[in-house]
Amino acid sequence: MSDLSNATWQAIPIVPYGAVLHVPAGWEALPPVPANGPEILRATGGPGRNLIVFKVPTRGMTAAQVADTAQEKLEAHGYDGFTRTEARFAGQPGVALDFVTRRDSKGTVIYQTREYFAVRGNAAFVLGMGSATWEEHLPLIEQIADRFELTD
């Protein structure tokens, strides 16, 4: 899976929200789960390959401030190991927030997640993807984020 340069990509328009998600061929879009709050789409490429897209109000916040708010909420749910970096997302400067989603009984990391944040107008778009095989899936996560588009 590490060589995605020759992969065929498919566009999944998220029309009501002015965004287009690009995923490798064979991935499927799934309906949002209302219990997850402002989720607008999820997609899967098979077992262990899932992503989620949120759209949240910014209330005047920058992408970094939206990421801070998300981190506070995630910490309250027991996630840890946060690192934040500047990253291009949706064709503009944004933020990538990495964190540990699950650990085993010995404290060993067994699942990690990355969420990308970008702001357009009064809304922030958040793309979240995780993996139990982080090093293997990180190139795919980065390419999906790199292809995410905000449309008019």
- Give the model confidence (pLDDT) of 101-131 as tens digits: 999 999 999 999 999 999 999 999 999 999 9
Instruction: Say if CB 94 and CB 88 are below 8 A apart.
Output: yes
pLDDT of residue 1: 42
pLDDT of residue 37: 83
- Asked whether the predicted pLDDT for residue 3 surpasses 50, the reply is no
62-to-19, 34, 82, 117, 123 alpha-carbon distances in Å: 19, 25, 19, 9, 10
Q: In the CATH scheme, what is the homologous superfamily, with its name and number, of domain 9-150?
A: Mog1/PsbP, alpha/beta/alpha sandwich (3.40.1000.10)
- Asked whether the predicted pLDDT for residue 5 surpasses 60, the reply is no
